[in-house]
Chain A
Amino acid sequence: MEAQQDWNALSDDAFREIFREWVDANCPSGLRFMRKQRPVFDEVAEWYHLLAEKGWLSPVWPQEYGGMGLDAGKHIVYVEEWARLGCPRIPDHGIGLTGPLLIQYGTPEQKAFFLPKILSGEHVWCQGYSEPNAGSDLASLRTSAVADGDGFIVNGQKIWTTLAHCANWILLLTRTSSDGPKRQNGITVMLVDMTTPGVTVRPIPNLRQETDFCEVFFDNVHVPSANVVGEVDQGWALAKAVLGHERIFLGAPSRPEYAIRRLERLARDRGAFDDAGFVARYAKLRLDLYDLGSAFERFARVLRAGGTLGPDVSVLKIFCSELYQRITEEMLTVAGEDARYWDDLPTGEGDVDAMNLYLDSRAPAIFGGSNEIQRGVLAKGVLGLPG
């Protein structure tokens, strides 16, 4: 891995230039603007390892752990350029979730063992939070972990675990006690090796008939005490804290941006720009996207000034996910009779994955805290409404 300079000492523009130039020269062209939102590790391994060698795989981890040590402002530049150049999403639960959690709350041994294996790609992580009966109400989770000698015996089930079928470690929320008055107490964060006997993964075909998420079953799975992160029973606060400034990226315009480019391609091919009705609707979508950029910038500025994000940042996630849906709905209108087909639609400028995007756009309004939950956060946390 190459030694890193102090990136935060550069201006945003200077950093942008350096970052873009290298990424554009090195990100394999076959992986750019991929149709698949969630490629599996093997599909993007080449790019993963290139980034790791360059030392640019983990933008926010401190440099002592092999990250770039970017502050929030530079991280935004990183994410923006990544999207602009059409780089593929890499399996990033290790980089974005487990890594930051361990850096903040892990023991020295945990950091020394796990962090390098994330960077090398040896450990591929997934996020085991949701359960069949604990979705929006995550605190009601029931997967149990019972102390047993120098460890815990875990029983229960997780569901909707993205990319679990190609992960080998899972960041697991378990219930270690249910006596307390608050259900949020008694939850523990555990690092679980998915090759341990008793772990079973079953992929769930999704609306797009692909398998991005899975069920994960735990049948008397032994987890060593050394794999508990933070204190037993105190995991809820850890799980919540780790998101921090990254919540801004739930509202990053990359999905609607990709979708609107595809809409434009389809519209040019079908002559829709000659149709005043379409142009008026397109213009609305285009400016919604443009203004999402302005709203994003409003929060980015807070971060650049060293501030922290409040609950109000949820507004980005709601607007962004709903805009993504509206753009894909317009695609089907432009497709006309062709909206009956499953496959991508051919155009003079290449295929347009209208149906793929339409179906995919159902998901971001549900995951990461559904839009109803986010509106609840805004109602209480920003407007201070009662109830």
Chain B
Amino acid sequence: MSGLMLDDPDGTLEMLRDSVAGFAERFDGPEGFRARRDAGQDLDRTVWSAMAEAGWLGLHLPEEIGGAGLGVAEQAVLSEALGRALISEPLAQLSVFAGVLLAQGDGAERDRLADGLIAGTAIVSPAWQGRDGAPAPLVARVHGEDTVLTGALCHVSAPVSATDFVVLAEAGGDWMLLSVPAGAGGLSVDAAPTLDGAQLGQLTFRDVKVPGNAVLARGNSARAALEAAVATTRLALAAEMAGIAAEAIDRTVAYTRDRVQFGKAIASFQVVQHRLVDMWSDAEFAQAAVVNAVETLADGPGKAADLAILAAKARAGDAAVTITRRAIHLHGAMGFTDACDIGLFMKRAVALNATLGQPEELRLLFVAREGVAA
């Protein structure tokens, strides 16, 4: 048994899996990872355009704004397959997160961004976090029609390639989401390399002025949009990590079956077998947790979905990180090289696991949300 076991009455999920498999033949994941990293880039625009062409970027966006209108199951299957293939462009942030924010907004500017996002012509990057990862709204001052923004935002994906940012700001206790063009006056970008061969940025806003129509959502709907984006992206990340976990175990089984020491395959040593079985069972639990979250969310948002998503991201994160770590060990010194792909899976797993909450934090949120202690 392997992969996300989800109902697939019309074969859409299978088509998506095939589509990623075909894509990975044209754009090798590990090679792309190294190339982007070595070039110091935050995004491979060629790969990104091909992802747009494949129809992946607008997969979950509603049809009214040009998306494919597909559900969480499709998104999870796509993310899982990308994880397996180690196609590591920041789809979770630039398509899922940004897409959910846009879907919850309205107005002409929203439509322009959604069109660009889906076509791959605009790189729309959400910017809303402080250093510690929590929401850290910019200070917004309203000047007639314009809004003036000050402050700093961290952990921004594709900070150099982005054409537009969707930023979180606050005015008089009210949250709002605004569209800010990448070249806006007073906006500066500091990019730093990530573990998974990309760049994340810190954006500094010094009196950045945007027009009134830049506001995509405000008040409760801005809050709700952000919450929905976090939850949906956590689920996509969980699926991606479940894919990484499954791929890492497959590769390690193959490697240890092949690698001969003391006259036999190292996979024939019982201690290695037991390690592999433990790794496999962690991957199975991760898959099960993701399927549970997909199905629970498909029944509608709410407490049950919140819990299932927190559980899935925590479980899949732990699984992906520990499986890849043990996989490196079972590869011996080979696993300690940059040339061996297994290390890239480990780095990607660590980076995704640290995105939008590490397992311990998520488990604490789960328990708090369940409300047993209160």
A binds B: yes
Q: What is A's interface to B at a CB cutoff of 8 Å?
A: 130, 133, 135-137, 140, 159-160, 204-207, 209, 213, 270, 277, 332-333, 335-343, 355, 358, 362-363, 365-367, 370, 372, 375
Contact B196 A206 (CB under 8 A): no
Least CB distance from B166 to A in Å reads 18
Could you tell me if A362 and B338 are in contact, using CB atoms closer than 8 angstroms?
A: no
Please determine whether B336 and A363 come into contact, CB atoms closer than 8 angstroms: yes
Q: Interface code B322-360, partner A: CB below 8 Å = 1, 0 otherwise?
A: 000100110011011111000100000011011100101
Q: Which bracket fits the contact residues of B?
A: 35 or more
CB–CB A342/B261 < 8 A: no
Chain B residue nearest in CB terms to A342: B193
CA of A375 to CA of B329, assembled, Å = 15
Our pick among B194, B336, B358 for the contact of A336 (Cβ within 8 Å) is B358
Apart from the given pairs A342-B193, A358-B350, 8 other A-B contacts in the complex at a CB distance below 8 Å: A137-B261, A137-B263, A205-B337, A207-B336, A270-B132, A339-B350, A362-B329, A375-B271
The answer to whether B351 and A340 have CB atoms under 8 Å apart is: yes
A337 touches B336 (CB 8 A): no
Determine if B131 is an interface residue (Cβ-Cβ < 8 Å): yes
Which B residues from 146 to 198 make CB contacts under 8 A with A? 154-155, 192-196
Lowest 6 CB-CB distances: which A-B pairs, in order? A337-B133, A339-B354, A137-B261, A205-B338, A342-B193, A160-B333
Does B79 lie at the interface of the complex (its beta carbon under 8 Å from any beta carbon of A)?
A: no
Given the contacts A133-B260, A340-B196, A342-B194, A333 and B360 also touching, CB distance less than 8 Å:
yes
Task: Name the residue of chain B whose CB is nearest to the CB of A370.
Answer: B332
Task: Please give, as numbers and ranges, the residues of chain A lying within 8 Å of B261 by CB-CB distance.
Answer: 135-137, 140
**B123-154 interface bits toward A, Cβ cutoff 8 Å, 1 = contact, 0 = none:** 00000010111000000000000000000001
Contacts of B354 on A, CB cut-off 8 Å?
Answer: 332, 335-340
Query: In chain B, what residue has the closest Cβ to A136?
Result: B261
Are A343 and B192 neighbours in the complex by a CB distance under 8 Å?
yes
Nearest chain B CB to A232's CB is how many angstroms away? 25
Q: Could you tell me the distance between the alpha carbons of A137 and B358 in the complex, rounded to whole angstroms?
A: 39
Find the residue from A209, A337, A367 having the highest chain B CB count within 10 A. A337
Known: A337-B129, A340-B195, A341-B194. A362 touches B351 (CB 8 A): no
Smallest CB–CB gap between B311 and chain A, Å?
Answer: 18
A270 to B261, CA, bound (A): 45
List 6 contacting pairs A-B, 8 Å CB cutoff, sorted by A. A160-B333, A270-B132, A340-B195, A340-B196, A341-B194, A370-B329
Residues of chain A lying within 8 A (CB to CB) of residue B129: 337
Please report which residues of chain B, range 244-278, place their CB below 8 angstroms from some CB of chain A when the two chains form the complex. Answer: 260-263, 266, 269, 271-272
CB neighbours (8 Å) of A367 from chain B are: 333
Closest Cβ of chain A to B206, distance in Å, is 22
Q: Which of B84-133 contact A (CB under 8 A)?
A: 129, 131-133
Give min CB distance, B193 to chain A, whole Å. 4
B21 within 8 Å of A (CB atoms): no
Q: Closest Cβ of chain B: how far from A380's Cβ, in Å?
A: 13
CB B282 to nearest CB in A, in angstroms, measures 15
**Does B361 have its Cβ within 8 Å of any Cβ on chain A?**
yes
Contact bitstring B193-222, A, C-beta under 8 A = 1, else 0: 111100010000000000000000000000
Q: Contact between A206 and B336 (Cβ–Cβ < 8 Å)?
A: yes
For residue A130, which residues in chain B have a CB less than 8 angstroms away from its CB? 333
B333 contacts A135, C-beta separation under 8 Å = yes
Cβ of B280 to closest chain A Cβ, rounded Å: 18
Asked if A340 meets B361 with Cβ closer than 8 Å, knowing A133-B260, A160-B333, A205-B337, the reply is no
**Contact A337 B155, beta carbon cutoff 8 Å:** yes
Q: How far is the CA of A160 from the CA of B343 in the complex (A)?
A: 16
Q: Which residues of B contact A372 (CB under 8 A)?
A: 269, 271-272
Q: Are B195 and A342 interface neighbours, CB within 8 A?
A: yes
Rounded to whole Å, the gap between the CB of A54 and the closest CB of chain B is 35
B131: A residues at CB distance < 8 A: 337-338
A370 to B266, CA, bound (A): 13
Docked pose: A139 CA to B271 CA in angstroms:
21
**Quick check: B336 and A136 within 8 Å, CB to CB?**
no
Q: Determine the distance from Cα of A31 to Cα of B199 in the docked complex, in whole angstroms.
A: 31
With contact pairs A332-B350, A336-B133, A362-B325 given, residues A135 and B355 touching in the complex (Cβ less than 8 Å): no
Give the docked Cα–Cα distance between A264 and B357 (Å): 21
Asked whether, in the complex, the Cβ of B194 is within 8 Å of the Cβ of A366, the reply is no
- List the B side residues contacting A209 at CB < 8 Å: 338
Which residues does chain B contribute within 8 Å of A355, judged by CB atoms? 195
Q: Which residues of A contact B339 (CB under 8 A)?
A: 204-205
Judging by beta carbons under 8 Å apart, are B337 and A365 in contact?
no
Complex Cα distance A366/B272, Å?
A: 14
B269: chain A residues at CB < 8 Å are: 372
A336 to B200, CA, bound (A): 15
Q: Are A341 and B336 in contact (CB under 8 A)?
A: no
Cα of A137 to Cα of B264 in the assembled complex, Å: 11
Q: Write the chain B residue with the least CB distance to A205.
A: B338
B337→A340 contact, CB < 8 A: no
Closest to B272 in A: A372
- Return the chain B residue nearest A139 by Cβ: B262
**Bound form: Cα–Cα A343–B190 in Å:** 14
A342 to B40, alpha carbons, bound, how many Å?
12
B141 to chain A minimum Cβ distance, whole angstroms, is: 28
Q: Which residues in A have their C-beta under 8 angstroms from that of B332?
A: 135-136, 366, 370
Which of these, A135, A332, A336, A362, contacts B361 with CB under 8 Å? A336
A370: chain B residues at CB < 8 Å are 329, 332
Q: Closest residue to A213 on the B side, CB-wise?
A: B333
Nearest-neighbour CB distance to chain A for B313, whole angstroms, equals 13
Which residues of chain A have C-beta atoms less than 8 A from B194's C-beta? 340-342
Bound-state CA distance A332–B354 (Å) is: 8
